[in-house]
A and B are shown apart, each in its own frame.
Chain A
Amino acid sequence: MVGWHGAPVEELRELEGHATDEELTEQLLAPLWSKSRWWRICFAVSGAGTLLYLVAFTYTVVSGIGVWGNNIPVAWAYGITNFVWWIGIGHAGTFISAFLLLLQQRWRSSVNRVAEAMTIFAVIQAGLFPVLHLGRPWFAYWLIPYPATMAVWPQFRSALPWDFAAISTYFTISLLFWYVGLIPDLATVRDRAPGRVRRVVYGIFALGWRGAGAHWQRYRLVYGILAGLATPLVVSVHSIVSTDFAITQLPGWHSTIFPPYFVAGALYSGFAMVIMLVLPLRAVFRLSNVITTRHLDSLGKMVLAMGWMVIYTYAIETFFAWYSGDPFEVAQYLRARPFGSYALVFWGMVFCNCVVPQALWSRRVRTSPVLLFVVAFLVQVGMWAERFVIIVASLYRDFLPSSWNLYAPTWVDWGLLLGSIGFFSFLFFLFLRYIPFVPIDEVKHLRAELEPRRSG
């Protein structure tokens, strides 16, 4: 069996549950035709969230950042916290698709498209915050080097143009990767969809895919190349995001461990998010034959592994703070964070990110959808708290005690956080409704490989 590392065959036997490829196809396409009540409800709820987002967004742009709780010294708060959180979530998708593809972890097949979609939608959320949090968002384009009448250019020693490059690249590549992966399935939908209109629409996006041998050959090559490009990209993006903090002098930010630290954290929250998305789908659309306990198990293990990386970074940065003997570092890590005004958030972070995931040592937890979901959710909360601690806790206690001040979020801050979650799910539900969220061709391929070969 070609390139079958990772999963012992018997664990994926469920894939054979269906008699024919046609039935399997039908099963995976069903969500596109069916009018599920569940979907309607979720869509309505997320729609409401999106509305909240629009309101908070518009209010901010019209009135100014002043409607947030930010101040001096805490000039960055929820806005950037949300940004880092979302971009982090956006990492698992490409990681699963690309990195695991390179490692030929074939169990990824059933979940990678959901993960990729998640990536794209998360990056959209992430991309909006840096623009919104500008004092004058309408001048955001000044970060692009174009020949302006004022003859002034962007300043590339700053981490923000790096961010700009990284995020736009990451979004483009993820989109391409996702779309390339979609083409064969779009062709399938084109050929199966009831009603001419849909067939035409899907047909156009399928670009006239014929599944010819030549297609498949180039296709797999390019898919591999994209994976090869996307993998270092994933690592670079959050490393660059971390430099928004690491290149400064601020105790709590000024740290060389940040890039790996952020990447680990990103994947951590990313995998947790995948779990949170996959489990409901699995339940609602009865996909236990496609998204097997084996998948849950693997995802659980990934979360656990990433969790330990995060724990390590927490430990090491605290240690270095102490070991450096630098009074400002010591004050930040050993006083301001654990015992300062935001100690509650800090300890919440420690609990969610370090304690909770230990439950995943048990296979029962890893394979029990409910428990797994709870863990994933808490990890998500913990990771948001982590970013909040890094950003706000470092800023509110900086060098000169005279400038120390507290930060308190306003309703707009909350509105943007919840709203962005709403907008994210809004896009995600659209995706569920109109795009096959399990790569049909890959599943069929996998299944064919599992089946005893029919003799000619």
Chain B
Amino acid sequence: MVGRRDFLKMVGAGVALAGVTGCVTEPRRSILPYTMRPPEVTPGNPLYYATTMPLDGYGIGLLVASREGRPTKVEGNPDHPASLGAAGVYEQASILQLYDPNRARQLTYQGGVRSVRDFVRAFGPQSTSAFGTPGNGEGLHLLLEPTSSPLTASLIARVREAYPAAGFTFYSPLSSSSELDAARNVFGRPLQPVYDLRAADIIVALDADLLDEGPFSLRYAREFADRRRLEEPSAGMNRLYVAEAGFTSTGVLADHRLRVRSTEVAEVAAALLELVRGGSVGATEGAAPMGGAVVGEGRGAQWRGNEWVRAAARDLAAHAGRSLIMAGARQPPRVHELAIALNAILGNIGRTIRYIDPVLVDVGLPTHSPVPLVEALRAGAVRTLVIVGGNPVYDMPADFEFGELLRRVPERVYCGLYRNETAALCDWVVPALHYLESWGDVRAWDGTASLIQPLIYPLYGGITIDDLLKVFLLEAATDAHQLLWESWRERTGGGDDFDEFWKDALRRGVIPGTTSPEVAVTGEGAVVRVQSMGGAGGEPRAGSVGVDRVPESGDQQGGGGESAKLPRGGLVLSFRRDPKVYDGRFANNGWLQELPDPVTKQCWGNAALLSPRTAARLGVEDGDLVELRYRGGKLRLPALHLPGHADDEVTVSLGYGRGGAEEVARGVGANAYLLRRADAPWFGGGLEVARVGEARGEERVVRTQERWTQEGRPIALVATLAGYRANPDFTHEHRGSQPSLFERWNYSGEQWGMTIDLSVCTGCSACVVACQAENNIPVVGREGVARGREMHWLRIDRYVTGDVEEPRIVMQPMLCQHCEKAPCEYVCPVNATVHSSDGLNEMIYNRCVGTRFCSNNCPYKVRRFNWFDYAVLRSPEEDLQLNPDVTVRARGVMEKCTYCVQRIRRAGIRARVEGRELGGDEVVTACQQACPTRAIVFGSLGDPESEVSRSRRQPRLYSVLHELGTEPRTMYLAKIVNEAPATAV
């Protein structure tokens, strides 16, 4: 989207503008009224539709705003269990994917354009295919993405009937079976845990990014935050222990974070279990080495890990039944088993955890592993491979050499959104529909089913997986809605009130009564099982939990496998889901590419993350180009020092270095899948790092924030809960009125203000994307960011505090502070930025001449300038996403956060038309709406009972750079960390 060519485009676009003056009259536009206006549509006012976004098979409920028939913004559906009204970066950015001009537009066979009918002829009733009628499907294999859709499930079942010999595989590079395998090992059947964080006082996350990863993370973040938002010092707060290698959003909020190699998390878990079971916790305070429970062999009892484990164990013991231990998807089943055991012992099961039957189709069965397919391919047993969604050629473990295998398949079909790496190797390429264009259903993590309804007529044509399956069922394609409607009619047994039921389901976006029931498991049983587990095969040995010995990291299956058998001190390579492009499927999304990584602040690419100490040991400078050598694979990418990262481990994001036909994604970052191995999907030892030289040009790390520290300045304030209670007034220097020569401007009526609670900000950046979508903020591309010209109105500042070795991170969303004594205003020569009567710092784009004086005088540097005509970077398709309530800024003007003034004015007009005053909490800004943890509160200070007014009464309130006397309307609540009382043992 923003390459060299586009730079020229920007430069060129100027020509049109050059010499434009104020008094030119533009040509008459035309008006095209409906011929028949749909009753629900009121041109000029947005309509909201409930739908659901499927991601790796699980649904997240959404409300999508539609303006005159074009979806413009994605928001969370408060009624949906996985959303609760919040929306993450993927959900919100998916709307840009809908309009992506690079999406596959034509159905092709070996490059030649074909019609759907041709496709049906090839595989449908008169199929000439090898497996075709009346065959039994011998040689037919379908490679699908994991799905939980009841409709799809039923179709799959029918396809299986029709072709008993047909093979099925469900693959997604990020999904892991550890959790279910562990459950199977422990409970004898695959079960899926659903956590209730509201009920947990102590949470221990073992390499689990519960706040930002997984199909229920939005809900978990909300629940977690609800137990953390301090109304007053005396209020209670949950405590979070995190053991992880990289720095995740969860690590950011950790009260006690242990940076430990991914390979050693199992040891930590084991030691934890040991202490908790030993029951000695609490009793033997400080009675030093508890049995042999010294984690991290070779580090000695001094190692901080011991302290962390003891503190966690003590807390867990003290909060039996009100605690929670979670293991991350990256960890092998072993760790999950230990977690289950811990939860069982502490009696958390049934209290903070309930188990339900798995939601995905076939989940827990071998069809969820790519291995059988790969073997079949190697054996040449597959004659027709149908790949629906995903991008296996790109994201299968490198040692499968899937691309090579695929080439050998005689008949290859791909159905997906893009002409990606996989499409390039297939004869048949069938464009798929975006979820915002299609009918369907999907289930959330807790089993709740919800409907997917289209917001717009297919832009580029295409079919859904259901349509595709119907082709193989030799059935004529029926109307998608009809199909869905019928399937649910029979599922619910019809009934006269079905139409009502259906309408309601569509409106609310949730199908009532579909949430999976809890499966009763007995905690005791679990513990017993853990202990009595036979040592067969890769199964962990019984003793491994016992006090007598700590498992070697080498024992770990799944995680390390053979590869992990390495001498300590060797380097571990660790892969992670990218917080922006996920597994690579969003790599063509400009918003996400330009979204700074929550912790590293890197845009447009990935890097080898490693701790400064390890870097020093390897002689790798920050920003050097390094070569990773791992089990025969090589990968070049820039190194990036990440304080707080585990030593002797290198983390790399998946999803970059794409080679498909997607213009934005192509050539951005390095493809870490090339190093991924099937036996060690998430981490493994034996990595070598070689410094190549200084990274230049396209390989350079591009970051929106170079600095890690606050340079000792009081910007993002942090205190411990104890400290806060001891001295609740610790922010008093940073608030209150400042002496001023001017008498205060008198404000009346609605007075807008915002309060941001740093205690619950994970840095997930949902607000940043929300702002981008709501306010038509352009993407400036790698070059632009490299030059320091990113346009985000709302950025999240990340600062490390405390000890350099074991840093804490505090996230500070930074946006226009709407200062009452705004420094930007009095320096504007043309009155382009002034104050409104309701206390907004207004920015009038059409008056701005672009002196940039305001930006220079803005102490918060939240103003953004249109260095070029960025509008030309948007394709006509992407223009359809633009919010008609917000001006698209011209070249050469300044812009900034307006507190979503378009929403304020719309609400104000609505209220006054209805002849009432505007409520203090009636207006919701885009960022506030998206925030999963409700860290952002917005409203009128004029209304003493509004949420924001109440937040202003908290003692930990303060304003940034208060000493300057700018009197910001955006204020912050200092971050409170809930450290365990006497951690020092």
Chain A residues near B (Cβ < 8 Å): 61-67, 69-76, 133-136, 138-140, 142-143, 150, 152-155, 157-161, 164, 244, 247-250, 253, 327-328, 331, 395, 398-406
Given A135-B852, A331-B711: A247 and B831 interface contact (C-beta under 8 Å): no
Chain B residues near A (Cβ < 8 Å): 10-12, 14-15, 18-22, 705-707, 709-713, 715, 787-789, 795, 797-799, 812, 814, 823, 826-831, 847-853, 855-857, 859-861, 863-869, 890-894, 960-961, 964, 966
CB closest chain-A residue, reference B857: A248
Given A249-B964, A327-B713: A161 and B14 interface contact (C-beta under 8 Å): no
CB closest chain-B residue, reference A61: B18
Given A138-B20, A400-B859: A154 and B831 interface contact (C-beta under 8 Å): yes
Main secondary structure of the interface of A (DSSP, over half): loop
Q: Tell whether, in the assembled complex, residue B831 and residue A69 are in contact, meaning their CB atoms are under 8 Å apart.
A: no
Q: What is the CA–CA distance of A405 and B788 in the complex, to the nearest angstrom? A: 7
Determine how close the nearest CB of chain B comes to the CB of A410; give it in whole angstroms: 9
Determine how close the nearest CB of chain B comes to the CB of A155; give it in whole angstroms: 5
CB closest chain-A residue, reference B703: A405
Residues of B within 8 A of A403 (CB): 705, 860-861
Q: Tell whether, in the assembled complex, residue B11 and residue A63 are in contact, meaning their CB atoms are under 8 Å apart.
A: yes
Q: What is the CA–CA distance of A155 and B824 in the complex, to the nearest angstrom? A: 12
Q: Tell whether, in the assembled complex, residue B814 and residue A134 are in contact, meaning their CB atoms are under 8 Å apart.
A: no
A-B contacts, 20 listed (Cβ < 8 Å): A63-B12, A65-B892, A71-B787, A71-B788, A74-B788, A75-B865, A135-B891, A135-B894, A136-B893, A139-B21, A139-B849, A150-B847, A159-B853, A160-B827, A160-B851, A248-B823, A327-B712, A331-B711, A399-B859, A400-B797
Q: Tell whether, in the assembled complex, residue A64 and residue B857 are in contact, meaning their CB atoms are under 8 Å apart.
A: no
Q: Tell whether, in the assembled complex, residue B964 and residue A135 are in contact, meaning their CB atoms are under 8 Å apart.
A: no
Q: Tell whether, in the assembled complex, residue B707 and residue A66 are in contact, meaning their CB atoms are under 8 Å apart.
A: no
CB closest chain-B residue, reference A403: B861
Q: Tell whether, in the assembled complex, residue A69 and residue B856 are in contact, meaning their CB atoms are under 8 Å apart.
A: no
Across the A-B interface, give the 5 residue pairs with the lowest CB-CB distance, nearest first: A135-B850, A135-B892, A66-B867, A71-B788, A403-B861
Determine how close the nearest CB of chain A comes to the CB of B309; give it in whole angstroms: 35
Q: What is the CA–CA distance of A157 and B853 in the complex, to the nearest angstrom? A: 13
Determine how close the nearest CB of chain B comes to the CB of A342; give it in whole angstroms: 15
Determine how close the nearest CB of chain A comes to the CB of B344; give it in whole angstroms: 45
Determine how close the nearest CB of chain A comes to the CB of B14; give it in whole angstroms: 4
Residues of B within 8 A of A331 (CB): 711
Determine how close the nearest CB of chain A comes to the CB of B694; give it in whole angstroms: 16
Q: Tell whether, in the assembled complex, residue A76 and residue B867 are in contact, meaning their CB atoms are under 8 Å apart.
A: no
Q: Tell whether, in the assembled complex, residue B10 and residue A402 are in contact, meaning their CB atoms are under 8 Å apart.
A: no
Q: Tell whether, in the assembled complex, residue A158 and residue B853 are in contact, meaning their CB atoms are under 8 Å apart.
A: yes
Q: Return the contact of A402 from the options B712, B814, B868 (Cβ within 8 A).
A: B814
Q: Tell whether, in the assembled complex, residue B848 and residue A67 are in contact, meaning their CB atoms are under 8 Å apart.
A: no
Determine how close the nearest CB of chain B comes to the CB of A407; give it in whole angstroms: 8
Given A66-B789, A73-B855, A404-B707: A134 and B850 interface contact (C-beta under 8 Å): yes
Q: What is the CA–CA distance of A402 and B601 in the complex, to the nearest angstrom? A: 10
Q: Tell whether, in the assembled complex, residue B859 and residue A398 are in contact, meaning their CB atoms are under 8 Å apart.
A: yes
Given A136-B892, A399-B859: A155 and B18 interface contact (C-beta under 8 Å): no
Q: What is the CA–CA distance of A66 and B866 in the complex, to the nearest angstrom? A: 8
Q: Tell whether, in the assembled complex, residue A247 and residue B788 are in contact, meaning their CB atoms are under 8 Å apart.
A: no
Residues of A within 8 A of B15 (CB): 62
Determine how close the nearest CB of chain A comes to the CB of B913; give it in whole angstroms: 27
Q: What is the CA–CA distance of A216 and B406 in the complex, to the nearest angstrom? A: 100
Q: Return the contact of A155 from the options B707, B713, B831, B856 (Cβ within 8 A).
A: B831
Interface centre among B10, B814, B865 (most CB of A within 10 A): B865
Given A66-B867, A135-B865, A249-B823: A158 and B828 interface contact (C-beta under 8 Å): yes
Q: Tell whether, in the assembled complex, residue A66 and residue B10 are in contact, meaning their CB atoms are under 8 Å apart.
A: yes
Determine how close the nearest CB of chain A comes to the CB of B8; give it in whole angstroms: 10
Q: What is the CA–CA distance of A154 and B830 in the complex, to the nearest angstrom? A: 4
Determine how close the nearest CB of chain A comes to the CB of B970; give it in whole angstroms: 13
Residues of B within 8 A of A253 (CB): 856
Residues of A within 8 A of B859 (CB): 249-250, 398-400
Q: Tell whether, in the assembled complex, residue B829 and residue A67 are in contact, meaning their CB atoms are under 8 Å apart.
A: no
Residues of A within 8 A of B799 (CB): 401-402
Determine how close the nearest CB of chain B comes to the CB of A398; give it in whole angstroms: 7
Q: Return the contact of B856 from the options A157, A250, A406 (Cβ within 8 A).
A: A250
Q: A75-B855, A136-B890 are in contact. List 15 more A-B contacts (CB 8 A).
A: A64-B891, A69-B787, A135-B892, A136-B848, A142-B847, A154-B829, A158-B826, A158-B827, A160-B827, A160-B851, A248-B857, A249-B857, A253-B856, A401-B799, A402-B705
Q: What is the CA–CA distance of A277 and B385 in the complex, to the nearest angstrom? A: 82
Q: What is the CA–CA distance of A125 and B736 in the complex, to the nearest angstrom? A: 47
Residues of B within 8 A of A61 (CB): 14, 18
Q: Tell whether, in the assembled complex, residue B856 and residue A135 are in contact, meaning their CB atoms are under 8 Å apart.
A: no
Residues of A within 8 A of B847 (CB): 142, 150, 152
Determine how close the nearest CB of chain A comes to the CB of B863; give it in whole angstroms: 7
Q: What is the CA–CA distance of A64 and B18 in the complex, to the nearest angstrom? A: 9
Given A63-B10, A63-B868, A158-B826: A136 and B849 interface contact (C-beta under 8 Å): yes
Residues of A within 8 A of B788 (CB): 71-74, 405-406
Q: Tell whether, in the assembled complex, residue B891 and residue A138 are in contact, meaning their CB atoms are under 8 Å apart.
A: no
Residues of B within 8 A of A66 (CB): 10-11, 789, 867-868
Given A73-B855, A134-B850, A400-B715: A139 and B829 interface contact (C-beta under 8 Å): no
Determine how close the nearest CB of chain B comes to the CB of A309; give it in whole angstroms: 27
Q: Tell whether, in the assembled complex, residue B848 and residue A135 are in contact, meaning their CB atoms are under 8 Å apart.
A: yes
Interface centre among B706, B798, B799 (most CB of A within 10 A): B706
Residues of A within 8 A of B706 (CB): 404-405
Determine how close the nearest CB of chain B comes to the CB of A59; give it in whole angstroms: 8
Q: Tell whether, in the assembled complex, residue A76 and residue B856 are in contact, meaning their CB atoms are under 8 Å apart.
A: yes
Residues of A within 8 A of B711 (CB): 331, 401
Given A74-B788, A135-B850: A401 and B10 interface contact (C-beta under 8 Å): no
Determine how close the nearest CB of chain B comes to the CB of A350; give it in whole angstroms: 24
Residues of B within 8 A of A133 (CB): 851
